[in-house]
Amino acid sequence: MKQGSRHRFYMHEAERRDMPGPDTCGDFMPFFHQGVYHLFYLHKYCVYEVTTADFVHYGEPRLAIPNGSPEDQDWHIGTGSVVEREGVFHFYYTGFNESNRDSAGKHEQVLMRAVSTDLVHWEKDDSFRVTPDTVHYGGLHWRDPQVFWNDRELEYWMAVTATEKDGDHNRGGCTHIMKSSDLQSWRPGMAIYAPGTFATHECHDIFQMGEWWYMIFSNYTRWWETRYRMAKNPAGPWITPAVDDMFDGRAFYAAKTVSNGTNRYLVGWQAIRPGMDDKKPYQWGGSALVHELLQRPDGTLGVKPVQALAESYRKALPQAPAAHRGTWTFHHGVRGSELYGFGWAEIGSMSEACLVKAKLRWVPGTLACGLMLHTDGARLEKWCQVRLEPARNRVVFDRSNKFDGDQMFIEERYVSLAGAYEAEVKVFVNGNAIIIYVNDIALATRSYDYEPGGCGLFIEHGEAEFLELSILE
């Protein structure tokens, strides 16, 4: 990514396989300092960094903390966090050495630290090692230290991914807390969250917004997912939002937040598919994906596009409406009707990187409506679909190359649609990456087998209108 260039969501596999590009990013550990977001991330068992001031323009990636030798505890470096105290930056991370798993007196996962005075030059602090507390916890997971200032207790807390000592199989995940007044002397705390639900809570991020505390964590027990809990006290009890405790779909993972003092952003990775093949399962790691967090009146969280990124799409692409199936009118917006099946209309052409947005309104009883992307062929042989299903309270991403034998999970997200009869949709397309926002939820996905093609609208078993429709690049 060249300095000053627009952020790209993707990179072709043939491009610079030896450099830490967007498609090779692992867990992000964001930190804000003096107007700059420092996005530390995992790559090739090391920690790399890229900086940005607006999440639109990025600097060059660089190696921040190298991994050790096969004999060292940090042969592989795992997720952590950065905190500053009295002009010194402390990078807490996980030292992995799989060869230690069955070695007496050694551990696979140990909490470690590096220090810096400029966020550029880091020195590993060999005096800091926190080994697993096997007296109170299981020894399998002991990683992902997140250090934050607890202004209620007036001390630093460190959230650690751990497991209950005698927890049920794949249900023992818990969040352990350590405490310190000065970042030098740490004492064991307690487990603040052990629901008996997940195998692990990894990549913790605990923070406060207003009167609420939030705990974000990622979990792979059933599928990849980033979830959150909320509490009035950082020690808990932690409440699970009753309707939706996620921000994005199953391809968005290991997200942690960063705040500039006014806005808070959620930085994770959007998974890629091996070989750039739509029919392959998602793999670990991917491209950077940033959402801006928003807090609803009831304290629950939602997301929206980063404002600077949305504003960077300014040039309107020409529209040439054409009805293909169903009844359509193109006057003061677009209205479509097909009561007994599928109808669609083309509205224009897409570019490699574009933003498609519209406000949708539908009549009660409408089965589905939404946007058609990457349309191609005289008989609509190729297409992608952003599908709103009001009765099911969900948005679905579908595509034409899913056919017989493709049993992968449905790419969907909950969104409150029933009884509202309207929604605002924004879809960012950048190469194979597609980021969908419906009101205040997101769904990130991929579409490798498609050229930009056409853009359209559709309606199924109902009637809808599409207002403030635009295609921008």
* Phi and psi torsions of 309, nearest 5°: -70, -45
Residue type, 310: A
**Residue bearing tokens 């064991």:** 188
**Residue bearing tokens 């997720």:** 79
User: What pLDDT band is residue 224 in, cutting at 50, 70 and 90?
Assistant: confident
* Phi and psi torsions of 310, nearest 5°: -60, -40
According to the model, what pLDDT value does residue 21 have? 44
- Residue 418 pLDDT greater than 90, yes or no: no
- Mean pLDDT along residues 154-166: 96
Delimiting residues of CATH 2.115.10.20 domain(s) in the chain? 13-311
- Name the 3-class secondary structure at 22: helix
Distance CA 385, CA 393 (A): 16
**Mean pLDDT of all residues belonging to the chain:** 92
- Name the 3-class secondary structure at 54: coil
Structure tokens that stand for 155 in this block: 């001390």
What is the pTM for the complete model shown?
0.94
Neighbours of 92 (CB within 10 A): 24
- Residue 219 pLDDT greater than 50, yes or no: yes
Per residue in 341-357, pLDDT (tens digit) is 999 999 999 999 999 99
User: What pLDDT band is residue 324 in, cutting at 50, 70 and 90?
Assistant: very high
Distance CA 321, CA 309 (A): 27
Per residue in 176-211, pLDDT (tens digit) is 999 999 999 999 989 999 999 999 999 999 999 999
Residue type, 461: H
Strands 353-362 and 334-349 turn out to be unpaired
- Mean pLDDT along residues 263-268: 98
> Are the C-beta atoms of 41 and 27 separated by less than 8 Å?
yes
According to the model, what pLDDT value does residue 329 have? 97
Distance CA 337, CA 263 (A): 41
Higher pLDDT, 12 or 112: 112
User: What pLDDT band is residue 407 in, cutting at 50, 70 and 90?
Assistant: low
With 0-12 / 13-18 / 19 or more C-beta atoms within 10 angstroms meaning exposed / middle / buried, residue 128 is: middle
According to the model, what pLDDT value does residue 17 have? 32
User: What residues contact residue 176 under an 8 Å CB cut-off, 6+ apart?
Assistant: 133, 137, 159, 160, 161, 162, 188, 189, 190, 191, 192
> Are the C-beta atoms of 311 and 301 separated by less than 8 Å?
no
Structure tokens that stand for 129 in this block: 């090692």
Per residue in 13-63, pLDDT (tens digit) is 323 333 344 447 999 999 999 999 999 999 999 999 999 999 999 999 999
Delimiting residues of CATH 2.60.120.560 domain(s) in the chain? 319-472
User: What pLDDT band is residue 4 in, cutting at 50, 70 and 90?
Assistant: very low
Residue type, 4: G
Which parts of 260-367 are beta strand (E)? 264-272, 283-295, 301-304, 319-325, 327-330, 334-349, 353-362
User: What pLDDT band is residue 406 in, cutting at 50, 70 and 90?
Assistant: low
Distance CA 437, CA 424 (A): 8
- Mean pLDDT along residues 358-386: 97
User: What pLDDT band is residue 10 in, cutting at 50, 70 and 90?
Assistant: very low
**Per CATH, which fold does 13-311 belong to?**
Tachylectin-2; Chain A (2.115.10)
User: What pLDDT band is residue 140 in, cutting at 50, 70 and 90?
Assistant: confident
**Is domain 319-472 given the CATH code 2.60.20.30 in the classification?**
no
> Are the C-beta atoms of 40 and 77 separated by less than 8 Å?
no
Sign of CA dihedral 91, 198, 412, 421: negative
With 0-12 / 13-18 / 19 or more C-beta atoms within 10 angstroms meaning exposed / middle / buried, residue 346 is: buried
Sign of CA dihedral 92, 97, 102, 106: negative
> Are the C-beta atoms of 357 and 457 separated by less than 8 Å?
no
Percent above pLDDT 90 for the chain: 85
Closest CA to 142 of 125, 164, 157: 164
> Are the C-beta atoms of 386 and 361 separated by less than 8 Å?
no
> Are the C-beta atoms of 372 and 456 separated by less than 8 Å?
yes
Distance CA 345, CA 323 (A): 4
According to the model, what pLDDT value does residue 393 have? 97
Higher pLDDT, 71 or 3: 71
Residue type, 53: A
Per residue in 82-121, pLDDT (tens digit) is 999 999 999 999 999 999 887 888 999 999 999 999 999 9
